[in-house]
Structure 1
Amino acid sequence: MHAVNIVTIVDTIAALSSGSLRNHVYMADDGWCSERKGTAELATACYPGQPISWTVHAIDVQSPALISEIRILDLAPHGPAARFTPGPEAGGAPQWTYWSGLVPCCLPPGRYGYRLQFQLGRGERSVLSIDTPALNVLSWTGAQS
């Protein structure tokens, strides 16, 4: 099964200036039936056990954006909250701009919101997060390989 790739673009200067990621995050993926592409409310279509990866890019190259955590929210009925682990960029030391993992196999079909947390530069207000994206876990019935 191919991996689903999610790309996030962050306007780091605007986010740091406002103290919020609201209206400063743009997300897209290569899922065939994902919803709300180009927004922070991206709902990525995926299947249990499918590889998934996130990358982040800053609009301003002098103000970096790094992923510091990805956590699926509200999984109490299905087990503990799932966290994805960071992976190093190809050909270099870990920069935490690339994270990967598997969609938890225990998830029944449904929409699962997740927290995407970023480290934007340095300082006490440089860690910001959004809880608006989601994984839209589909049923294996009719799945394509």
Structure 2
Amino acid sequence: MMQSRVNIVIAVDVIKCLSEGSLLNGNLSMMDDGKYQSTGQGTAELCTVCCPGQVVRWTVVPLDVQTPVAIKNITFLPSRDDDDDVNDSGNGNGKRSVLDSWSSLLVPDTTQPLEEVRGPGYGEAALPDGGPSDGGAPDGASPDGALVDENPTLDVWDGVVPPFLEPAVSYRYRLELQMYEGERSTLQIESPALKVL
């Protein structure tokens, strides 16, 4: 039975990325939970194996929780052969337009609660002596011990794998990440891919 969703987690060392101006050199790691044999786990070259109709969810997480990072865009790239892919009328509506329409369907999911992505118990306040709480909450935590976040969502993007993609083909994509603001705050890589079964 096919897994209904494959999750791709993007862990980013924002401080290193900004100081080096690159998402490479170990500054970014990508992992997925797919049940098929994805390659490049833990690297920027992750190739996630997925099936038509399956939801793919990208979630970006900074290594240092005080440094913001967001997915700015995900765009599927043409292969060398796709650049010349035209139909009989001379219009470019072959594979390139398929990838363009797929990219346009990828959207940020701003309804994703933190607990669903991070799991129950994430960020619970730990008492130094392990004893019962006096009822007060540490800074940044609510009285029930969960961390309070001004933005109750993570930067999560969702998309459904279209049924018309060719199997056994790796579809590379450009992943653009926004860190802080300014002219050098957006970085991108073009090495990850999805491979359709």
Match 2:12 to one of 10, 13, 19: 10
SS of 2:30's equivalent in the other structure is strand
Q: Distance in 2 between matches of 1:67 and 1:4?
A: 17
Q: Distance in 2 between matches of 1:11 and 1:36?
A: 18
1:89 positional shift: 4.3
1:105 positional shift: 2.3
In 2, are the aligned partners of 1:86 and 1:96 still within 8 Å (CA)? no
Q: Which runs of 5+ in 2 are unaligned?
A: 83-93, 115-150
In 2, are the aligned partners of 1:65 and 1:119 still within 8 Å (CA)? yes
Structure whose CA Rg is larger: 2
- For the pair 1:100 / 2:122, whether they are aligned, the reply is no
Greater CA drift, 56-65 or 95-104 = 95-104
- For the pair 1:50 / 2:72, whether they are aligned, the reply is no
- Please list the CA deviations of residues 66-88 of structure 1 after superposition, one character each: whole Å capped at 9, or x if unmatched: 00111111174424223111111
- Amino acid paired to 1:86: P
Q: How many residues are aligned here? A: 138
In 1, are the aligned partners of 2:112 and 2:154 still within 8 Å (CA)? no
Q: Which runs of 5+ in 1 are unaligned?
A: 139-145
Q: Distance in 2 between matches of 1:45 and 1:91?
A: 26
- TM (norm. structure 1) is 0.87
1:96 positional shift: 6.1
Q: Tell me what 1:142 maps to.
A: none
1:65 positional shift: 1.0
* Structure with the larger helix share: 2
* Structure with the larger strand share: 1
- Distance verdict in 2 for CA 1:96–1:79, change over 3 Å: farther
- TM (norm. structure 2) is 0.65
- Distance verdict in 2 for CA 1:72–1:112, change over 3 Å: same
Q: Tell me what 2:138 maps to.
A: none
In 1, are the aligned partners of 2:112 and 2:153 still within 8 Å (CA)? no
- Please list the CA deviations of residues 16-67 of structure 1 after superposition, one character each: whole Å capped at 9, or x if unmatched: 0011111211000011211110000000000122111000101111211100
In 2, are the aligned partners of 1:67 and 1:96 still within 8 Å (CA)? no
- Amino acid paired to 2:112: A
